[in-house]
Structure 1
Amino acid sequence: MYKAVIFDLDNTLLNYSISERESMKRTVEEHEISQEEAFIWDDFWGCFQRVNMQYWNDRNKAGHHILEVLEYSFRDTLSELKLDHSASQVLAGRYWDTFCHTCHFEQFAQDLLSTLHKNYKLAIISNGIGEAQRSRLAAGEIDHYFPYSAPL
């Protein structure tokens, strides 16, 4: 008999893709980057994803904190698109805060957790940043399903 069920978090229980895109849209709208004449969402988003993936993949080797990864990603993306990049650090902080408090569930995830929690211990394994993952679980009010935490 099984005693526990282990889940991946992003794009298994929580829809990372929607949370990421929504958080970014909110960030550029609040900072009014999207109001600049040269701003085109699809160009920005495609460029940011490419640049950010490079920094994300190199973060451990380079010793970068997630806020540095985001700051450099904003800086390089905005520079490449010939937009003002002077607020990159502010944008990184705003995006990170928004993302950490955003929770979109995959279909049936809440029902699945509710059902399984009655009979099994539940755990998560994730390559995401622990701070964000714990905050997103709390934002979705499902953190109580995962009472045992280890540093991520």
Structure 2
Amino acid sequence: MKYEIVYFDLDNTLLDFSRSEKEALYNTFRDHGIFLTQEQITLYTQINKKWWLAFSQGKYDKEYIVFARFEEFLDNINVKSLDAKRIAQRYLETLSHLAYFLPGAEDLLEKLKKRKQRMAVLTNGVKTVQESRSKLLRLDRFFEFILTSEEVGKPKPDPTLFFKAQEISGVPLSRSVYIGDDPQTDSLAAKNAGVDFILFDYTGTGNDSQKTARTFEQLYSMLLM
């Protein structure tokens, strides 16, 4: 294999977070008698992305953004009867039980495992949620460890997550690669850490300014070369 260890982002790289997010959001509000429209769900995802970007920029801590996003969302849809912190907690609990591989992701991991490729996960996601979803999909079949930014105290694009991964794996970052779906946060994190980066752009919405794989088959080939 080209690299001694492959580090993956998790959400929307290997796992269909968009599906889990939509289902968790709809179910959470449904349980409170509110049936969200697709337009409202889209609004939430936009608000959520904004708050996670602020988190990655170090403007707010994770504990704050997980409920601040719901404060803004509830205000935007003019719902005054629900408490943002309670909704945020219920949403995370619901999300923790929803995990789906992107089509082809599990096959990719199986093929890499057969080639004895070392693999691990580096993610900015909420630790308790990622641990629960990882257990549902039995990701320990493939990965030596799953490391979250919470455990190192700084989110991507800060390189601390990568330095800790290097310490755990014992593999120099120069012999590693990071694969993620975010052309900004993931790419910059890899650059800051001095590790090779492959953008996984299965939606085809990115550009070709970075080394990019649009399918898992293409990604597999790139990891072999």
TM-score class, shorter-chain normalisation, is 0.7 to 0.9
The percent of aligned pairs where both chains have the same amino acid is 29
Are 1:73 and 2:74 matched, yes or no? no
Distance 1:70 1:5, change over 3 A: closer
Q: 1:11: Cα distance to partner?
A: 1.5
Q: Normalising by the residue count of structure 1, what TM-score does the alignment of the two structures yield?
A: 0.80
Helix, strand or coil at the partner of 2:59:
helix
Listed as ranges, the gaps of 5+ residues in structure 2 are: 150-225
Distance 1:26 1:86, change over 3 A: closer
Distance 1:150 1:10, change over 3 A: closer
Matches of 2:13 and 2:42 in 1, distance apart? 23
Matches of 2:81 and 2:31 in 1, distance apart? 15
Q: Is the 8 A contact 1:134 1:143 kept in 2?
A: no
Partner residue, 1:37: none
Q: Is the 8 A contact 1:100 1:132 kept in 2?
A: yes
Runs of 4+ with deviation above 4 angstroms: none
Kindly report which structure 2 residues correspond to 1:84-103, keeping only aligned pairs within 5 A, or say none: 84-103=80-99
Q: Is the 8 A contact 1:75 1:85 kept in 2?
A: no
C-alpha distance after superposition, 1:92-142 (max 9, x if no partner): 001111112211111121122122213111112323233332322111122
Q: Is the 8 A contact 1:74 1:85 kept in 2?
A: no
Q: Is the 8 A contact 2:122 2:148 kept in 1?
A: no
Q: 1:151: Cα distance to partner?
A: 4.7
Q: Normalising by the residue count of structure 2, what TM-score does the alignment of the two structures yield?
A: 0.57
Q: Is the 8 A contact 2:6 2:119 kept in 1?
A: yes
Distance 1:58 1:28, change over 3 A: same
**RMSD of aligned residue pairs (Cα, Å):** 2.2
Matches of 2:65 and 2:37 in 1, distance apart? 21
